[in-house]
Chain A
């Protein structure tokens, strides 16, 4: 009988939009109005002015966009930025999912300790975490010293100021953004589903692959999108641990905005980055929802 009393909760989880049906449309609108106002003043208006700045100087002028297409460097830097963001998202997922899974299945106190470990990483400033990687990876840093002591290497390896260092440091910074949404999704999967699968003869791995993993996909999607978008705009970490070959779009935008004061061109680069990001997110979302038989990603 206890199972029956649990049912309504699960249904709320399964059926998105359940809360909306309980409020009248007018009340819903009134509730979101303050946020909408804040977003339009603090977000939509600046984005609009940015796009306008990139197009009108003050007459319609597409020179900036033409330059982005004609000079190969801008597209190649754009491609590198997306590649780094993709690698960071993949490594964050591979490292983050097991952590989220462990957190979700741990007992109360241990789960709190694991969550604290993730949150502390989230709360320490990006600058500090980036400098910490410099200390670890530099020529006379901890990593090189340990490997030399152990006799694994003879001369110090070049671990910093390259793309690998950028990916490692960015993954570290972004990991909480991957772990927390996945954890939230895993936590809300009723334990009975896994029990049911196991009682019907599924092994632990089958139950995970066919029940837990598909049900956690909304969290995976949220985590991946957040990591990917944040990674695209990273500025400080690549500047500190990256080298000349890790030039990324944010650095180019910074150069144009502060060194050359060419704001229309900086705005054009930002607009191209924004639009490509939106397209990538839409494609990503389509791919995610198609790969599953049900609308797991809404």
Chain B
């Protein structure tokens, strides 16, 4: 394996030198940092991460708590000492869906996820996740960047900084936001923070056939341009730039900028191609339910994610839920304060359809072995009920479940545990640090050695923490 890796990296370096900057402009120095070879033998070459903003309830989904059922209706906090994010705890509220064991491994999953239930033997569950904040934006920032404050690079940016791109005609870090809006905290959830802007995510807008990427083409409303004029203009720019460069030879920045127009032209071909889902077989389209009114939009994102990683994109993040949309009759994400059945019911169907199709599809195509699929949320929800009708649940930074599957992951295992009610992680409490350290490890990166100097500190995705979770590794 390491024999085949080296030439790959060398050729990538050569490509970079040719490209000068570009998708792959992955800073030569970052590869030098990695001593031109991965720290470990990689088990996965790319990541698809599904992010469920709003706070997915663990006790309604993956974390089976029979004791909660036994205590149903009893006071959760008899002393009245607890104060959650927005409320005082109500009574113990068992999961709103029935749990059943699945697969060879016998993992428990609620009936909210019938599709995912058929994949449990490929999935590893981390039951003991917790967060440093029970607020949406800091929680999302932490899960994406390792810090509760804004301004830090997201995991996808770190990965491209460390590894660069495999694709020479697509960006290496792509984000597919929920078509209804941004997650809590906004665009900076996938920002590059203090890393150079080459490492920032490119968002694909799957709603727009003309412009899957912002400014890919001139707006159709602008009448004075056509492809011929574009070409004429670009030819002229090249002539100007070459003359300009000739007088300043040796300035590689100028050279890189000339090349970047050529790369842009390639992107104009590749981006519409990758977002054109109609070229997929009918059966595939059906598998992802892309025509379904409710779940189709997330299904399309999942299918697009597969197409992107097939073409060498390194990191794809998909959002299953938004935040700052106008009030809707269903919550715009998993944040089910007043009606878990309504909101988790809706978003559960969405996630289950898309994610299970994605796992099946990747597996069928043999891509799952090299693709790490991660699914997470920013924090969990309380085992106690919230609201007059006791139909909701408040935020819970103390416990939630994340799952991982695919490249290098041992399927069917569970790691860590919450207490008997699912209130707090008690066995192997795990912050985002360990999850990130594990994902980087699978890509061949030692999380303590992927660093960038900023205002006095060699910054890391994992701050000063993080351990690889060996228990979930194959």
Partners in one complex: no
- Chain A contacts to B: CB under 8 angstroms: none
- Chain B contacts to A: CB under 8 angstroms: none
